[in-house]
């Protein structure tokens, strides 16, 4: 079979260099294309040449030619080449690299350096000096610290090399008097002599060389890895496919994938190193854009599949709205009204609703969701309310029962802790259609839980509703409208990346009558105890939160069990309760009930209370070892108080030693009450990878991009993806053949549920 890869790539490069001529005189190029592809009948048989040559049709030809090059390159073979085929990569190195997901040559080439060493004078203060070794000795300082100093004679005089870490064999064992050496390292002055600290021994021929530095496990050294990368580039660079359509590469002036990888792994001049390290070089931007472009293509394609999925067209009658309005305990804020209008608009359409409602702690998301649920019930449908924990599920049930009291709307709780007989009886009633609202954990959508007529699924959790759960609903024949809620305010850039397949509503206004929480910082627990005593005297309650249940020998943190006993001594055992995740549900519920009734004044807890606990008379939140908590978690915990007109307080208690990052988080907590502002700070500090704490299901890892740094590229990529899908929703035209191929293969695992609504 003829290998046409080389001729095709050369022709593409020629066209790229003569773009204007290609559009003016296309016929001669078309003839060249025909000559090449006719060598491969299976390709020429499907290659489409246009009847007329305009810009659009010629772009289609280029897209097909690019696809031909990729097909000819046999990219699937490239994807499976084992790194152990490269010199120096033995079993131990391969096993270590596998832990960083580097198992193939493709993985290796796409594992980019994070910085570069330039062997020569640089802005970092490193330099190379050449001289003849004269003498060396161990020096002992006044503080009894030891270092090895070697003196060299150079053209300009003497200089020294200093090693603080040395042995009998190194460096004295390798230095020979009268021999000439080139040393490279951090330069400075030591004991009045120009010196290089902990230098590397180099060859004079190494001067001016640029060495990439990779993030690697200890078992795979830099030199070994760099050597393997060089071999991989020499052997396999021609196999690297271009996953971006040629028109997008040209639109932004991006180099090809091959040229980009050569530049990144083997830069030619020191002047481009800063841009490469900071990912601002076109060679890096090309991969950042590609990654974000395909993320947005997948999310938007998924979103379109939701729209294609027929849902339920609910009738939002005035009589239903009047019925709901009479049940509400207060008037909606303008933000709640706006979100409610968006939800009702979705519910009344033929498409399936897939909407995320995000809002700060206490902004009134739950009542908005229940309102949507009541509209579904009035239409004769059932509603599932799904919470991440049983504590939160029971909290929702309490609030729902208050709302529907005195009506004919029915509700039931379905959780894992119920007895088999209780579950059986409840499920039978749900299947018979006797229950309107079913509240519970994911047990609600398990295989043996069936609905008579499910119309709306309300999912309340910090992280998104997984595609597996969505699939389980569809497999049962349900296509309910789906309403997700999150109490973690998400910056717009992150929402586009993680929730780009959903419609998003934001409740950015707090209900009236809430007194702002006063947040203070101290490293003296006595101040917190004094505030607690004052508030308890007024009949109010207090939370005291610790990061651990039991004392850890490794971490110097206060533990809930020990501090519980200490607080019992101060405030009386009858007034203090201990709540943590290891307790049985009945114990947890009993404690919460006693705290709500005021029987217990102080609830000592781990972060179990972070979500869903609603005790209006609790006015103090004390967070011990606050420096160990993330900003989002601190804000969530603070949201457990301030749930009434009473003045509430959040006391952040830290140890004596606080890191700069922790101090920044604590200062932000004291300064800002707005969860969206805090989420932006949190994102900037922690980066997108750690923002949620866990990976979002169904989404790819970010290999090249950082959506805080690359927000403009993210927005551009989404606009490009929207434009392409608006023009070609099924990606059927030749110019989008590359995109369709990538979506079908490269991203198959991440978007395997792409058609799931």
pLDDT one-digit tens code per residue, 380-424: 999 999 888 787 888 899 899 999 999 999 999 998 888 889 989
Region 113-124: mean pLDDT is: 77
Same domain, 268 and 345: no
Rounded CA gap, 105 and 481, in Å?
45
pLDDT at 114 over 50: yes
Instruction: Please check whether residue 744 lies inside any domain of the structure.
Output: no
Least confident residue range of 437-441, 625-629, 730-734: 730-734
**CATH code, domain with 572:** 3.40.50.300
Task: From residue 217, give the alpha-carbon distance in Å to each of 85, 94, 199, 264.
Answer: 19, 10, 22, 20
Q: Which residues contact 221 (CB under 8 A, 6 or more apart)?
A: none
In this structure, is residue 715 part of a structural domain?
no
User: Has residue 416 been placed in a domain?
Assistant: yes
Distance CA 182, CA 204 (A): 6
Which of 66-70, 329-333, 456-460 has the least mean pLDDT?
66-70
- Residues 505 and 339: beta-carbon distance below 8 Å: yes
Same domain, yes or no: 226 and 239: yes
As to burial, measured by CB atoms within 10 angstroms (0-12 exposed, 13-18 middle, 19+ buried), residue 144 is: exposed
Q: Is 312 a member of any domain?
A: no
- Give the lowest-confidence range in 62-76, 95-109, 438-452, 550-564: 550-564
pLDDT of 252 strictly over 90: yes
Q: Check whether 653 has a pLDDT greater than 50.
A: yes
Calculate mean pLDDT across residues 582-589. 77
Segment 248-263 mean pLDDT: 91
Helices (H), 207-359: 222-236, 246-252, 257-265, 273-277, 282-308, 318-327, 334-348
Question: What pLDDT score does 708 carry?
Answer: 74
How high is the pLDDT of residue 556? 53
Tell me: do 451 and 326 sit in the same domain: yes
In sequence order, which residues have a C-beta less than 8 Å from that of residue 581 and are 6 or more positions away?
549, 606, 608
Whether the pLDDT of residue 697 is over 80: the answer is no
Confidence of residue 177 (pLDDT cuts 50, 70, 90): very high
Q: Which residue has the higher pLDDT, 370 or 504?
A: 370
Q: Which of 446, 478, 507 is the last residue of a domain?
A: 507
pLDDT exceeding 70 applies to what percent of the chain?
Answer: 86
More confident residue, 1 or 83: 83
Residue 130 phi, psi dihedral angles, 5° rounding? -115, 135
Q: Quick one: pLDDT at residue 126?
A: 79
Element (H, E) at 669: helix 660-671
pLDDT at residue 413, as a whole number: 93
**Final residue in a domain of this structure, among 206, 238, 268:** 206
Other CB atoms within 10 Å distance of the CB of residue 90: 12
Q: What is the pLDDT of residue 640?
A: 84
pLDDT in tens, 446-485: 656 789 999 999 988 645 455 566 666 766 667 889 898 8
Residue 145 has pLDDT above 90, yes or no: no
The residue from 278, 310, 337 where one domain ends is: 278
DSSP letter assigned to residue 80: T
Mean pLDDT of the chain, nearest integer:
83
Residues paired with 559 in a beta bridge: 548
| Residues near 460 by beta carbon (within 8 Å), at least 6 away in sequence | 365, 366, 369, 385, 386, 387, 388, 392, 396, 484, 485
Domain check: are 563 and 643 in the same one?
Answer: yes
Same domain, 218 and 186: no
Residue pLDDT, tens place only, 25-34: 888 888 888 8
Which residues are CB-contacts of 322 (< 8 A; sequence separation ≥ 6)?
none
Percentage of residues in the chain with pLDDT exceeding 90? 34
133 and 154 assigned to the same domain: yes
Residue 116's DSSP bridge partners are: 212
At residue 469, the pLDDT reads 65
What pLDDT, on a 0 to 100 scale, did the predictor assign at position 360?
Answer: 80
Residue 2's pLDDT is 53
Mean pLDDT of 550-571: 72
Rounded average pLDDT over 357-383: 91
Tens digit of each residue's pLDDT (9 = 90 or more) over 655-674: 888 888 889 999 999 999 88
| Higher pLDDT among residues 682 and 289, named by residue | 289
Query: According to the model, what pLDDT value does residue 45 have?
Result: 60
Domain that holds residue 647: 518-672
Q: How many CA atoms lie within 13 A of 669 on its CB side?
A: 29
* CA 15 – CA 11 distance, rounded (Å): 6
Comparison of pLDDT for 278 and 614, the residue scoring more: 278
Query: Is 724 a member of any domain?
Result: no
Number of domains in the chain: 5
- Shared domain for 566 and 643, answered yes or no, is yes
Residues 81 and 167 in one domain: no
Lowest mean pLDDT among 225-234, 461-470, 676-685: 461-470
Q: Please indicate, yes or no, whether residues 82 and 167 belong to a single structural domain of this protein.
A: no
Does 113 reside within a domain? yes
What pLDDT, on the 0 to 100 scale, is given for residue 696? 45
Q: Quick one: pLDDT band at residue 636, thresholds 50, 70, 90?
A: confident
Q: Which two tokens stand for residue 605?
A: 């807890």
For residue 342, being part of any structural domain is answered with yes
pTM for the complete prediction?
Answer: 0.66
Which structure tokens are listed for 96?
Answer: 């270590």
In a domain, 578, yes or no: yes
Asked if 494 and 462 sit in the same domain, the reply is yes
Q: Terminal CA-to-CA distance of the chain, rounded, Å?
A: 44
Which single residue is written with the structure tokens 């070089």?
A: 281
Q: Is 347 in the same domain as 449?
A: yes
* 3-state secondary structure at position 414: strand
pLDDT surpasses 90 at 584: no
Residue 619 reports pLDDT greater than 50: yes
The answer to whether the CB of 400 falls within 8 A of the CB of 489 is: no
Q: CA 96, CA 747: separation in Å to the nearest integer?
A: 26
Q: With CA atoms as reference, report the closest residue to 545 among 521, 530, 563.
A: 563
Return the C-alpha torsion angle 57, 58, 62, 65, nearest 10: 80
- Position 562 confidence tier, pLDDT thresholds 50, 70, 90: confident
C-alpha angle 207/120/124, rounded to 5°?
155
- 567 & 502 share domain: no
- The pLDDT assigned to 462 comes to 47
């Amino acid at each position: 079979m003829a290998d046409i890869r080389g001729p095709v790539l050369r022709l593409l490069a020629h066209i790229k260099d003569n773009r204007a001529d290609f559009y003016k005189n296309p016929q001669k190029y078309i003839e060249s294309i025909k000559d090449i592809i006719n060598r491969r009948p299976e390709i020429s048989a499907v290659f489409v040449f246009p009847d007329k040559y305009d810009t659009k049709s010629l772009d289609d030809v280029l897209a097909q030619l690019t696809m031909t090059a990729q097909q000819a390159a046999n990219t699937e073979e490239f994807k499976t080449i084992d790194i152990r085929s490269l010199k120096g990569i033995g079993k131990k190195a391969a096993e270590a690299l596998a832990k960083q997901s580097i198992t193939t040559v493709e993985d290796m080439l796409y594992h980019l350096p994070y910085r570069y060493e330039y062997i020569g004078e640089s802005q970092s203060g490193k330099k190379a000096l050449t001289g003849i070794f004269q003498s060396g000795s161990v020096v002992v300082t006044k503080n009894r610290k030891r270092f090895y100093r070697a003196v060299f004679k150079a053209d300009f005089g003497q200089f020294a090399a200093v090693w603080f870490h040395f042995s009998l064999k190194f460096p004295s064992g390798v230095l020979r008097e009268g021999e000439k050496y080139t040393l490279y390292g951090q330069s400075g002055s030591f004991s009045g002599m120009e010196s290089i600290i902990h230098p590397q021994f180099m060859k004079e021929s190494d001067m001016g060389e640029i060495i990439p530095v990779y993030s690697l496990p200890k078992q795979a050294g830099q030199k070994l890895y760099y050597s393997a990368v060089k071999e991989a580039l020499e052997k396999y660079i021609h196999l690297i496919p271009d996953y971006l359509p040629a028109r997008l590469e040209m639109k932004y002036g991006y180099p090809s994938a091959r040229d980009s990888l050569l530049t990144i792994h083997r830069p030619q001049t020191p002047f481009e190193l800063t841009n490469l390290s900071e990912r601002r070089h076109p060679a890096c931007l090309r991969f950042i854009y590609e990654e974000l472009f395909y993320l947005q293509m997948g999310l938007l394609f998924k979103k379109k599949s939701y729209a294609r999925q027929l849902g339920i067209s609910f009738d939002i009658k005035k009589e239903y709205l009047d019925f709901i309005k009479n049940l509400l305990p207060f008037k909606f804020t303008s933000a709640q009204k706006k979100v409610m209008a968006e939800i009702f608009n979705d519910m009344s359409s033929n498409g399936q609703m897939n909407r995320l409602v995000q809002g700060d702690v206490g902004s009134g998301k739950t009542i908005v969701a229940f309102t949507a649920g009541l509209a579904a019930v009035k239409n004769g449908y059932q509603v599932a309310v799904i919470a991440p924990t049983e504590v939160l599920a029971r909290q929702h049930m309490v609030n729902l029962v208050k709302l529907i009291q005195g009506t004919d709307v029915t509700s039931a709780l379905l959780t894992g802790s119920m007895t088999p007989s209780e579950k059986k009886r409840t499920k039978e009633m749900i299947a018979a259609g006797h229950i309107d609202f079913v509240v519970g954990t994911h047990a609600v959508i398990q295989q043996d839980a069936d609905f008579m007529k499910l119309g709306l699924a309300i999912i309340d959790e910090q992280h998104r509703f997984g595609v597996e759960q969505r699939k389980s609903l569809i497999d049962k024949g349900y296509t309910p409208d789906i309403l997700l809620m999150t109490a973690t305010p998400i910056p717009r850039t992150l929402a586009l990346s993680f929730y780009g397949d959903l419609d998003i509503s934001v409740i950015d206004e707090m209900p009236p009558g809430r007194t702002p929480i006063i947040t203070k910082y101290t490293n003296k627990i006595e101040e917190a105890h004094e505030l607690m005593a004052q508030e308890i005297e007024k009949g109010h309650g207090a939370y005291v939160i610790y990061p651990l249940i039991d004392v850890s020998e490794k971490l110097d943190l206060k533990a809930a069990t020990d501090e519980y006993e200490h607080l019992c001594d101060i405030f009386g055992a009858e007034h203090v309760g201990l709540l943590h995740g290891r307790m049985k549900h009945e114990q947890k519920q009993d404690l919460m009930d006693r705290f709500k009734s005021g029987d217990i004044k102080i609830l000592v807890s781990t972060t179990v209370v972070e979500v869903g606990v609603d005790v209006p008379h609790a006015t103090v939140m004390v967070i011990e070892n606050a420096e160990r908590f993330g900003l989002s978690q601190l804000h969530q915990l603070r949201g457990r108080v301030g749930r009434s007109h009473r003045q509430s307080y959040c006391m952040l208690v830290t140890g004596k030693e606080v890191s700069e990052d922790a101090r920044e988080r604590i200062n932000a907590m004291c300064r800002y009450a707005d969860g969206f502002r805090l989420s932006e700070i949190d994102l900037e500090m922690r980066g997108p990878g750690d923002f949620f704490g866990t990976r979002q299901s169904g989404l790819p890892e970010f290999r090249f991009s950082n959506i805080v740094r690359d927000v403009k590229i993210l927005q551009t990529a989404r606009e490009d993806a929207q434009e392409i899908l608006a023009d070609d929703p099924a990606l059927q035209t030749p110019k989008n053949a590359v995109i369709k191929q990538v979506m079908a293969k490269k991203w198959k695992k991440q978007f395997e549920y792409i058609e799931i609504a």
